Amino acid sequence: MQPITDIIPLLKAPRTVVIVMHQKPDADAMGSSLGLYHVLSALGHTVTVISPTNWADWLGWMPGADRVIDYELNSAKSNDLLAAADWIFCLDFNILHRTRKMSEPIGKAAGIRILIDHHQQPQKEVFTYGISDTSKSSTCEMVFDFIESAGLGDKINLSVAACLYAGVMTDTGSFRFSSCSASVHRMAAVLKDTGLDHSKIHENLFDNFLENRLRFIGHALLNRMEVLYEFNTALITIPWKDLVKYQIRTGDTEGLVNYPLSIQGIKFAALIIDRDEEIKCSFRSKEGFDVNQFARNYFEGGGHKNAAGGRSSESLEQTTQRFRASLKENALQLQ
């Protein structure tokens, strides 16, 4: 994989570009994709953003979100766009299977694949150009760095700023995580200089849900959370019937896994959800426990040292039993 800076001289010639993010995109995936979309469009490129799946309603306010294509609803059109693309930017994921059903057409496309991502252990052999930097707070920060290094800072208008700010704010936990370096704050200052209303973005992302979601969270914490003090771990298990009862939609479980980390002494929090078609797992940790490696070892997943995800094709009960067994194998690390 060649350095992403090598494509900067090539930005002058108009290209047909597709920008792809991971399935069930969060604010960082959507924000980085749309931020880059606006900049490349301003340069005269023909740009399309495709999401492998649907996305949360509370991301719909982002400038350009109404132009994003849902692959599952428009697979034939999306496949044609991928096949015709000169460049395919892959943002906020580094392994093709995280694009779900898009993995095969992306892999077969003749266009040049370009990676911008901050997760561990990238699939470097499938990308011609790219950057993978786990020290970065977010993919939005990396897109900002790419724009600046290309001398395109003047293209950061209010729309670009709103998208990039949303992603960097959510991925840094509202600027509280250790990944929030001085450069992140300098980036925020540049974005603010565009006239950005950061409080409105916070409202759009965190104060924009239906009543049933709050009641669901209360139910989950009261009835579905178990604290395993012998392992300094908290586990929340959500059966499919809960999602149906509370009419949970895409994005409504975002952030739920973080609540148990507020308990004194808890180092590891896990959320295991029966999504009907498969079991989805989210892992968060404090201090030294590496949930990226944990997810890779036990749940076909990965991510960051303190934030990762995984999956299981077993039942919810079987997956939970496997999780409990894995805690015993990692007991020393969780002390």
User: DSSP class of residue 52?
Assistant: S
240 - beta bridge partners? none
Domain co-membership, 110 together with 220: no
Among positive and negative, which fits the CA dihedral 139, 57, 165, 145? positive
Q: Give me the CATH number covering residue 33.
A: 3.90.1640.10
Q: How many CB atoms lie within 10 A of CB 315?
A: 11
**Of 188, 206, 224, which marks where a domain is finished?**
206
* Polymer length in residues for the chain: 335
* Structural domain count of the chain: 2
In this structure, the answer to whether residues 77 and 173 fall within a common structural domain is yes
Please, are residues 67 and 49 in contact by the beta-carbon 8 Å criterion? yes
The C-alpha atoms of residue 108 and residue 106 are separated, in whole angstroms, by 6
Both 216 and 260 in one domain: the answer is yes
Q: Give the CA radius of gyration of the chain.
A: 20
- pLDDT for 105 equals 97
The pLDDT value recorded for residue 303 is: 87
Q: What does the block give as tokens for 153? A: 């800072």
State the sign of the Cα–Cα–Cα–Cα dihedral 141, 146, 149, 152.
negative
Out of 206, 238, 273, a domain closes at: 206
DSSP of 211-278: HHHHHHHHHHHHHSEEEEGGGTEEEEEE-HHHHHHTT--TTTTTTGGGGGGGSTT--EEEEEEE-SSS
Q: How far apart are CA 301 and CA 60, in angstroms?
A: 27
Distance in angstroms (rounded) separating the CA atoms of residues 261 and 282: 13
Enter the tokens of residue 251: 């994005």
Are 37 and 162 contained in the same domain? Answer: yes
The dihedral through the CA atoms of 245, 248, 252, 255 has a sign that is: positive
- Shared domain check, 233 and 160: no
pLDDT by residue for the chain (335 residues), tens only, comes to 999 999 999 999 999 999 999 999 999 999 999 999 999 999 999 999 999 999 999 999 999 999 999 999 999 999 999 999 999 999 999 999 999 899 999 999 999 999 999 998 899 999 999 999 999 999 999 999 999 999 999 999 999 999 999 999 999 999 988 889 999 999 999 999 999 999 999 999 999 899 999 999 999 999 999 999 999 999 999 999 999 999 999 889 999 999 999 999 999 999 999 998 899 999 999 888 999 999 999 999 988 899 999 999 999 999 999 999 999 999 999 98
> For residue 28, what are the domain limits?
2-206
**185/109 Cα distance (integer angstroms):** 38
CB 269 within 8 A of CB 231: no
The predicted pLDDT at position 319 comes to: 97
The verdict on 52 and 181 lying in the same domain is yes
Shared-domain flag, residues 215 and 326: yes
Nearest Cα neighbor of 197 from 63, 297, 334, 17 is 63
Alpha carbons 271 and 284: distance in angstroms, whole number: 9
